């Protein structure tokens, strides 16, 4: 019955009822699962070259799917990056980016504005079941929670897991520097777990948070196998403070950071196994990625950007290029994908794959990657990346070329802000670590990137800032 109603919602385009056979199953609208980590660095997975973190499930997912080596986020810190993924728009367009407060805090009054359209809203209107599990960080007041933004349900910590901090506990940064296995008492961080709009636990028992998020995700998939769904699973970890459940603690030679990533990896395996067991694997696109680069301030408790420069908070590659794996057995060809993509591309890509129109009354910064995913083309429709920090455009990439107009180190540490009268220029395919400024040799390319940046900035309209309310 549910399937019948869904078919009515989608019209004849996708209408194939059970019993129509294998080919019919393939024409039902696809499910989408986004697994979004917090502060996981470009170099933190086995399949992205980490030498001592074990990620067998993600490695297998990458073997069966696509490992994207040049995939970016819309901002280098949590709140704006999440706004970008869910709306397909740069956060500078929806007020979710600020110089004074770079993310939302427990005393913030703002959030993702109601008029913004999320992936969940667009798909829900077209018959999808939708769930947000995990970190939200787009406004924790009632009017901004996921159930106000297109999600049928929500269960998770509404902001970062290091917030609502109590006094009288050891300094986490100092402890982290001393001990790669350290974890703090959960009472130090009085973060709540919210179910839809009600607080159901406080402080959240963060030791089991990754495990419980995975269990909720599996439960949602099993409960919605008869209709198309969009699952947004946003892990709070490996953002500090780090916690792992008993069965993962002290299992990784990398210390607690490795324990945490291995537990997330195990959860990915459980989700993919559930999709296989329920017969949904061949009709589900799973995207695994991270919201920004590693928080390098926390010694071994922070991740690694691998060969990329800097980390969380910065507009160097280490802040905004993230480890990404996409999986859809039978539809996307297994390969290493070196073309450009960003989290903002997910909205138009999912809409295209689901046969849902994209909003035409606003500027979208995403591109439809579906043809690239399916191998119908080898060139990404995305050729540019814009690197905003706070309310300023720091850098722009076009093809392999990246110009920095302003540079600044990562969150909490690193070089101070510097405005460059003459932009720095890097060829980031030949020089992914951004070591060799070649601006003097390529004035024509610098000029082209300056013009591109100016044209882009002219498309930004002033909006009310949500992070400084
Ligand atoms: Mg983050």
How much is the pLDDT for 33?
98
Q: Could you tell me if 298 and 173 are in contact, meaning their C-beta atoms sit under 8 angstroms apart?
A: yes
How much is the pLDDT for 283?
98
Q: Could you tell me the distance, in angstroms and rounded to a whole number, from the CA of residue 256 to the centre of ligand 1?
A: 18
Looking at residues 147-166, what average pLDDT do you find?
97
Share of the chain above pLDDT 70, in %: 94
Q: Could you tell me the pTM of the whole model?
A: 0.94
Q: Give the model confidence (pLDDT) of 358-401 as tens digits.
A: 999 999 999 999 999 999 999 999 999 999 998 999 999 999 99
Q: Could you tell me the distance, in angstroms and rounded to a whole number, from the CA of residue 10 to the centre of ligand 1?
A: 36
Packing angle, helices 209-223 and 256-277, rounded to 10? 10
Given 78, 140, 235, 239, which residue is catalytic?
78
Q: Give the model confidence (pLDDT) of 320-340 as tens digits.
A: 999 999 999 999 999 999 999
Instruction: Report the C-alpha gap between 460 and 7 in whole angstroms.
Output: 39
Q: Could you tell me the distance, in angstroms and rounded to a whole number, from the CA of residue 105 to the centre of ligand 1?
A: 13
Q: Give the model confidence (pLDDT) of 424-441 as tens digits.
A: 999 999 999 999 999 999
Active site residue 410: no
Instruction: Report the C-alpha gap between 463 and 221 in whole angstroms.
Output: 37
Q: Could you tell me the distance, in angstroms and rounded to a whole number, from the CA of residue 292 to the centre of ligand 1?
A: 5
Given 50, 137, 239, 266, which residue is catalytic?
137
CA distance to 70, 262, 294, 333, 353, per residue, from 378 (Å):
14, 33, 30, 12, 18
Beta strands in 9-94 (DSSP E): 31-37, 66-68, 71-72
How much is the pLDDT for 414?
80
Q: Could you tell me the distance, in angstroms and rounded to a whole number, from the CA of residue 291 to the centre of ligand 1?
A: 5
Q: Could you tell me the distance, in angstroms and rounded to a whole number, from the CA of residue 143 to the centre of ligand 1?
A: 23
Looking at residues 2-10, what average pLDDT do you find?
44
Q: Give the model confidence (pLDDT) of 192-239 as tens digits.
A: 999 999 999 999 999 999 999 999 999 999 999 999 999 999 999 999
Cα 287–chain centre separation: 9
Q: Could you tell me the distance, in angstroms and rounded to a whole number, from the CA of residue 374 to the centre of ligand 1?
A: 30
Q: What is residue 184's three-state secondary structure?
A: coil
DSSP string covering 192-238: -EEETTEEEESS--GGGHHHHHHHHHHHHHHHTTTS-EEEEEE--TT
Q: Could you tell me the distance, in angstroms and rounded to a whole number, from the CA of residue 240 to the centre of ligand 1?
A: 10
Is residue 21 over pLDDT 50?
A: no
Q: Could you tell me the distance, in angstroms and rounded to a whole number, from the CA of residue 408 to the centre of ligand 1?
A: 18
Instruction: Report the C-alpha gap between 166 and 42 in whole angstroms.
Output: 32
Looking at residues 162-180, what average pLDDT do you find?
97
How much is the pLDDT for 390?
87
Residues with CB under 5 Å of ion ligand 1 are 38-39, 78, 291-292
Q: Give the model confidence (pLDDT) of 28-51 as tens digits.
A: 899 999 999 999 999 999 999 999
Active site residue 115: no
* Residue 312 DSSP label: T
The token duo for 397 is: 């990439």
| Domains of the chain (ranges, CATH numbers) | 29-373 (3.40.720.10), 384-458 (3.30.1120.10)
Rg (CA), the chain: 21
Q: Could you tell me if 49 and 43 are in contact, meaning their C-beta atoms sit under 8 angstroms apart?
A: yes
Query: 27 falls in which pLDDT band (50, 70, 90)?
Result: low
How much is the pLDDT for 15?
38
Looking at residues 9-24, what average pLDDT do you find?
39
Minimal CA–CA distance to 314: which of 242, 433, 396, 413? 413
How much is the pLDDT for 26?
46
Q: Could you tell me the distance, in angstroms and rounded to a whole number, from the CA of residue 39 to the centre of ligand 1?
A: 4
Is residue 355 over pLDDT 90?
A: yes
Q: Could you tell me the distance, in angstroms and rounded to a whole number, from the CA of residue 77 to the centre of ligand 1?
A: 5
Instruction: Report the C-alpha gap between 295 and 242 in whole angstroms.
Output: 12
How much is the pLDDT for 6?
45
């Amino acid at each position: 019955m549910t399937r019948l109603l869904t078919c009515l919602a989608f019209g004849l385009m996708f209408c194939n009822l059970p019993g129509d056979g294998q080919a019919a199953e393939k024409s039902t609208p696809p499910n989408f699962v986004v697994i979004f980590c917090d502060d996981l660095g470009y170099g933190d997975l086995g399949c992205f070259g980490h030498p001592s973190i074990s990620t067998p499930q993600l490695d297998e997912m990458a073997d069966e799917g696509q490992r994207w080596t040049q995939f970016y986020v819309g901002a280098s810190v949590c709140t704006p990056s999440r706004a970008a993924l869910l709306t397909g728009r740069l956060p500078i367009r929806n007020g979710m980016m600020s110089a004074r407060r770079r993310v939302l805090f427990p005393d913030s009054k703002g959030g993702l504005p109601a008029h913004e359209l999320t992936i969940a809203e667009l798909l829900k209107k077209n018959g999808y079941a939708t769930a947000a599990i995990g970190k939200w960080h787009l406004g924790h007041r009632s009017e901004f929670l996921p159930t106000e933004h297109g999600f049928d349900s929500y269960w998770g910590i509404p902001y970062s897991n290091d917030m609502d901090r109590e006094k009288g506990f050891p300094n986490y940064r100092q402890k982290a520097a001393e001990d790669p296995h350290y974890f703090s008492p959960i009472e130090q961080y009085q973060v709540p777990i919210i179910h839809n709009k009600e607080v159901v636990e406080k402080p959240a028992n963060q030791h089991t948070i990754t495990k419980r998020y995975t269990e909720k995700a599996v439960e949602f998939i099993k409960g919605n196998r008869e209709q198309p769904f969009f699952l947004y699973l946003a892990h709070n970890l490996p953002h500090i403070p780090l916690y792992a459940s008993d069965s993962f603690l002290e299992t990784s030679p990398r210390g607690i950071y490795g324990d945490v990533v291995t537990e997330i990896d195990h959860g990915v395996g459980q989700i993919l196994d559930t999709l296989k067991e329920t017969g949904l694997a061949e009709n589900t696109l799973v995207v695994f990625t991270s919201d920004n680069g590693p928080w390098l301030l926390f010694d071994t408790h922070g991740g690694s950007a691998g060969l990329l420069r800097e980390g969380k908070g910065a507009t160097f590659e280490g802040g905004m290029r993230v480890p990404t794996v996409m999986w859809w057995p039978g539809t996307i060809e297994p390969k290493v994908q070196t073309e450009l993509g960003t989290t903002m591309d997910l909205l138009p890509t999912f809409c295209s794959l689901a046969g849902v129109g994209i909003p035409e009354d606003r500027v979208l910064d995403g591109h439809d990657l579906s043809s690239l995913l399916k191998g119908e083309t080898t060139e990404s429709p995305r050729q540019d990346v814009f690197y905003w920090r706070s309310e300023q455009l720091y850098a722009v990439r076009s093809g392999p070329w990246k110009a920095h107009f302003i540079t600044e180190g990562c969150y909490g540490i690193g070089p101070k802000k510097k405005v460059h009268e003459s932009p720095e220029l890097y060829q980031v395919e030949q020089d992914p670590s951004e070591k060799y400024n070649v601006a003097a040799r390529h004035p024509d390319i610098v000029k082209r990137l300056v013009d591109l940046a100016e044209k882009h900035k002219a498309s930004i309209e002033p909006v009310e800032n949500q992070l400084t309310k």
